[in-house]
Amino acid sequence: MLNLLVYANCQGSMVEKFVVPEISKHVVVSAVHIVNYEAIKLGYGSVGAADLPEHYSRIISDADIIVYQNLSENQGVLSTSGRIANSFMTKAKKDSLKISFPYLNNNAIWPTYIEERTKGISFKTDPHIVEMARSARSEDDLIKKYMNGDMYFNFSGRFTDFVNELEKIEQECDVKISNFIKDNIAKKRLFLTHNHPTSAVMSEMARQIIHIISSNIGFEFDQEEFLRTQSFSPENICKLPGYYPIDFYSVRHYNFEFAQKQDVAAPSYYKSHMTALYNLVRGLPAEVLFFSDSA
């Protein structure tokens, strides 16, 4: 039996959905997913933690294959750096197959997005829009500018920044996805939210992971057939939560092949963001929609 460990955030769910079913055709697989951000929330990597929990150490040392996202040294023993005493990778078998893939964080498809933080909300957009919110005569004035198409969200610059950062991350990863994203950003829906990729992205990363595993274990893997089969998968086969609506600004900029017009939910969703931004720059309370229930 092959013990496979996934050490990643929710993006690692693609291993269960795509990788395990494929390699199970050739070998018996037992897969475990340690969700890295949950381990961080539990404080396992906090300052002063001298070692990993015993059950983590046991899972890691038993793993024949480790598919992971890099965690920096400031995460202490949860780090994937071998320079930290008793850290994650120091527990792995020397002959285990280690495959790294990048963390994806793309905020360049939507005009704005908002994350909920422990100390409030984090509003992300182009700085130009923040200045426009500050100079707006009223909340209605800002919303009118948005609805009339008078805003500039710098999609090109933000997408370039995303790709450049991703390419830096990929220098330390076995899986590369930046070229796929650049080639397909207008052709396919690639992201549901800034850090929740669709099945199209997940299956491409999975293809590369399976190829590495097949080359090391020694079984035939038809990559073209795999991708052909996965092209029929639901858009969100990993069932990741959340969805940011596509609006007319992004449709106009990217000329999407999969969306010729904005989502029905987009106007009310981004109106709420304009209201929140107007209040935030004035130090006022802001209530906002984090996700849309549907397109």
Span of 38-47, 163-172, 220-229 with lowest mean pLDDT: 38-47
The better pLDDT of the pair 46, 283 is held by 283
Q: What is the mean pLDDT of the chain?
A: 92
For residue 64, the Cα-to-chain-centroid distance in whole angstroms is 25
Instruction: Look at residue 270 in the predicted model and tell me its pLDDT.
Output: 94
Q: Which of 249, 246, 269, 274 is nearest to 259 (CA)?
A: 246
- Written as six digits, the tokens of 65 are 């294959």
Whether residue 139 has pLDDT greater than 90:
yes
Instruction: Look at residue 120 in the predicted model and tell me its pLDDT.
Output: 59
Instruction: Look at residue 114 in the predicted model and tell me its pLDDT.
Output: 76
Instruction: Look at residue 284 in the predicted model and tell me its pLDDT.
Output: 82
Q: How far is CA 96 from CA 33, 88, 91, in A?
A: 16, 13, 11
Q: Which of 83, 74, 8, 61 is nearest to 38 (CA)?
A: 8
- 197: phi then psi, degrees, rounded to nearest 5: -75, 160
Q: How far is CA 75 from CA 40, 47, 87, in A?
A: 8, 8, 9
Per-residue burial over 16-48, b if 16 or more Cβ lie within 10 Å, else e, is ebbbbebbeeeeebebebbebeebbeeebbeee
Tens-place pLDDT, residues 240-270:
999 999 999 999 999 999 999 999 999 999 9
Tens-place pLDDT, residues 43-69:
888 766 789 999 999 999 999 999 999
Residue 201 one-letter amino acid: V
Decide if 29 contacts 20 (C-beta within 8 A).
yes
Tens-place pLDDT, residues 22-37:
999 999 999 999 999 9
Instruction: Look at residue 56 in the predicted model and tell me its pLDDT.
Output: 94
Instruction: Please enumerate in sequence order all residues whose Cβ is within 8 A of that of 107, keeping only pairs 6 or more positions apart, or say none.
Output: 113, 124, 158, 162, 194
Instruction: Look at residue 113 in the predicted model and tell me its pLDDT.
Output: 82
Instruction: Look at residue 295 in the predicted model and tell me its pLDDT.
Output: 52
At 118, the pLDDT band (50, 70, 90 cuts) reads low
Distance of alpha carbon 268 from alpha carbon 221, whole angstroms:
46
**Residues paired with 121 in a beta bridge:** 116
Q: Which of 39, 35, 33, 87 is nearest to 65 (CA)?
A: 33
Tens-place pLDDT, residues 60-113:
999 999 999 999 999 999 999 988 899 999 999 999 999 999 999 999 999 998
Percent of the chain with pLDDT over 90: 80
Distance of alpha carbon 131 from alpha carbon 138, whole angstroms:
13
User: Which single residue is written with the structure tokens 């949950």?
Assistant: 38
Instruction: Look at residue 128 in the predicted model and tell me its pLDDT.
Output: 86
Whether residue 121 has pLDDT greater than 60:
yes
